[in-house]
Amino acid sequence: MKLQIIHIKKESMGMFLATLALSCSLLLTTSCDGDVFNVNADPFKGQTYTNILNSPISTYLSEEEDFSEYVGILNTCDMFNALNQSSNGTSFTAFAPTNAAMREFYQRRGVSSFQELGNDYLRQFVLFHTVKDSILPEAFVLKDHVTNLSGDNISIEIDSVNAGQATLNDEGQVTQMGLSAYNGKIYVLSKAMTPLVETIYQRLVESGNSTIMVEAINESRWMKDLNTIQDTTYNESHQRIINKRYYTFLNVTDEVFKANGINSFADLKNKLKANDELGLTEDSLLRKYVAYHVMGNSYTTTDLGAVNGSNMTRIWGTSATSQVLTITNDTLATTEEGRLVLNASGTSALFLNSSNILAKNGYVHQLSSWLPVWEPKQTTIVWDLADFTEIKNIVGASNFQPSEPTSTEQNTRVATASCFEFEMGESGTKNKSYSDISYVTCRTNLKDANNNDRMVYNVGYMGSVSMPTPTIVKGKYRVELSIIYLTNHNFMRQQSDGNGGLLRMVFDDDDELTTYVSPYTQVSSPLPGVYTSTIFEEVNFPETASHNFKFVVLDPAASTNGNFSLQFDTITFIPIEE
């Protein structure tokens, strides 16, 4: 790679610095992330921006023949000067595909040149391949993901055999790391990434192999939801709120339908009718079937597997009312494809290796069977109290449910999330470390916390919080609450001030589903950690459904002690055998 040195005469230096200062001040008026690439606000549009040290990213790439295709893209969609920008606190990491990588990408897209892709797509391509931050290789190899200028996470898998190489999003191939440009770093790609511009619905349509399922989606009126990336609403102060949509879609291809005797959309409807035991209409059966294949939030197959690496069967809610499915980790499976079994006790299905198809609004997983609606027997349900799309929207996907403990706690107020209804106690609270309801990540001293996070409730004496549970299969359960205990909770453990965090807990405002418990008095050690308290020895749910869960704080210390907080991780429902 060449290094460009520009010699500036002494008498020209003052003019150069003044121009640079003006450019920087203009840049500071632009907004962050994707807006940095707004060409209408680009102070270097129409210029070639260089400096006395070396070339910025676009100019650097233009000096190397092996990036001529990517440079052509930058010029065509007016991104060349945008990627050359630099100001205080603004730098980039560019994942730059070589010419060979671009030609392979054209083949994948069914085109012969980038001009056939259109300027809007090319802009998204550049945004997807750019990160706002100059990432050094030694920091890059420690990351499991980065967030690009499209707002999407790019997963990182470091090659343990070939030094200096990595795989991005299971697709992009990094062959050189951290080449230095003036305004950032360049990572060379021998294979380009596919930008996330398609929704789940578009992925299904464009695949061409799921025509029966696509027709079912259209007829059941799920097309709009699966084709939506975000909604815009306004709060009481008329502030615009953008809510991203996240889904996981369990897809059945035409080939799999055919293997199950379903050769057309009409065959699918007939099969649903033949299996119906409730006398539902054809439309109702179809809506239920499609909704059964839609899960709220976005999950990889790994996410769906097990809690903290355990080998348990998990129940997952679907978008079909009061309908759930199970996912079992088969420890005897001889292949990775056979490890996770959906509805193992019913008409079962496996995740095919072609699963984990990432879309702009979630994931598509391919199934080995047609997966009819089925009600399982009771099994253990672990409810992560942070697992709401509304919380994820506020926290941001890149900071939500980290895969490892965080080096520092990230504390985000989420009380505005629509999944909650809460009331602050009349006397308020003395605790200033947390807001009324906070999402907080966990450090290594709390490594046993599910998904390395917890919810913190700080609503004062007689304050209350309510929220919907996951769908729970009818039957009797013992219910356990996992709490986070910190050293400043010791007064709660010993009840030296107040009554140990006494709570009234109730499901569906039903007196028979009500209990009173002081969970912090059940903590067995003064050491910080995750501890379990039994909150119901037995509770009976007569129907398979989601329930309203509510707790009321009955400890006066919640309004008088500055260290009082309720820090909850999960609620686990453990079946009681009849």
Return the pLDDT at 498: 94
CATH fold of 10-191: FAS1 domain (2.30.180)
CATH fold of 382-575: Jelly Rolls (2.60.120)
Return the pLDDT at 235: 66
Q: Cβ(455)–Cβ(540) under 8 Å?
A: no
Taking residues 45-56, report their average pLDDT.
56
Taking residues 433-454, report their average pLDDT.
94
Within this chain, domains 10-191 and 200-376 share the same CATH topology: yes
Main-chain dihedrals φ then ψ at residue 445, nearest 5 degrees: -70, -10
Instruction: Pick the range with the lowest mean pLDDT from 149-153, 162-166, 248-252.
Output: 149-153
For the beta sheet containing 184-191, the strands, ordered from the edge strand earlier in sequence to the opposite edge, are: 130-131, 92-97, 184-191, 172-181, 166-168, 153-158, 145-147
Flag whether pLDDT at 89 surpasses 80: no
Q: Which residues have CB under 8 Å from 214's CB, separation 6+?
A: 201, 204, 205
The Cα 140–Cα 144 span in angstroms is 8
Flag whether pLDDT at 512 surpasses 60: yes
Flag whether pLDDT at 47 surpasses 80: no
Return the pLDDT at 306: 58
Taking residues 229-235, report their average pLDDT.
75
Main-chain dihedrals φ then ψ at residue 368, nearest 5 degrees: -90, -5
Residues in the chain: 578
Tell me the pLDDT tens digit for each residue of 529-561. 999 999 999 999 998 889 999 999 999 999 999
Flag whether pLDDT at 104 surpasses 90: yes
Instruction: Pick the range with the lowest mean pLDDT from 21-35, 334-348, 451-465, 498-512.
Output: 21-35
* Average pLDDT of every residue of the chain: 87
Read off the pLDDT band of 25 (50, 70, 90). very low
User: Interior CA angle at 308 toward 306 and 309, to 5°?
Assistant: 60
Return the pLDDT at 311: 54
Q: Cβ(188)–Cβ(173) under 8 Å?
A: no
Task: Give the CB-side neighbour count of residue 427, counting CA atoms within 13 A.
Answer: 15
Return the pLDDT at 34: 43
Query: In 110-239, at which residue ranges do the beta strands (DSSP E only) sit?
Result: 130-131, 145-147, 153-158, 166-168, 172-181, 184-191, 230-234
The Cα 97–Cα 68 span in angstroms is 10
Flag whether pLDDT at 95 surpasses 50: yes
Q: What is the largest CA-CA distance in the chain?
A: 91
Cα 84 from chain centre: 31
The predicted model scores a pTM of 0.66
Read off the pLDDT band of 461 (50, 70, 90). very high
Tell me the pLDDT tens digit for each residue of 362-387. 999 999 999 999 988 888 889 999 99
Return the pLDDT at 7: 35
Q: Cβ(364)–Cβ(203) under 8 Å?
A: yes
Flag whether pLDDT at 495 surpasses 50: yes
Read off the pLDDT band of 6 (50, 70, 90). very low
Return the pLDDT at 517: 95
Return the pLDDT at 172: 93
Return the pLDDT at 471: 87
Flag whether pLDDT at 168 surpasses 70: yes
271 versus 399: the higher-pLDDT residue is 271
Flag whether pLDDT at 429 surpasses 90: yes
Task: Name beta bridge partners: 412.
Answer: 439
Return the pLDDT at 314: 82
Flag whether pLDDT at 46 surpasses 70: no
Which CATH superfamily is 200-376 part of? FAS1 domain (2.30.180.10)
> Where do runs of H (alpha helix) occur along 451-506?
490-493
Instruction: Pick the range with the lowest mean pLDDT from 2-6, 94-98, 132-136, 510-514.
Output: 2-6
The Cα 266–Cα 261 span in angstroms is 12
The Cα 317–Cα 484 span in angstroms is 26
Every domain of the chain and the residues it spans: 10-191, 200-376, 382-575
Residue in the structure block whose two tokens are 């990572």 = 187
Tell me the pLDDT tens digit for each residue of 286-298. 999 999 999 988 8
Of all residues in the chain, what percent carry a pLDDT higher than 90?
Answer: 65
Taking residues 253-274, report their average pLDDT.
97
Query: In 169-305, at which residue ranges do the beta strands (DSSP E only) sit?
Result: 172-181, 184-191, 230-234, 240-244, 247-251, 294-296
Task: Name beta bridge partners: 359.
Answer: 362
Q: Cβ(132)–Cβ(33) under 8 Å?
A: yes
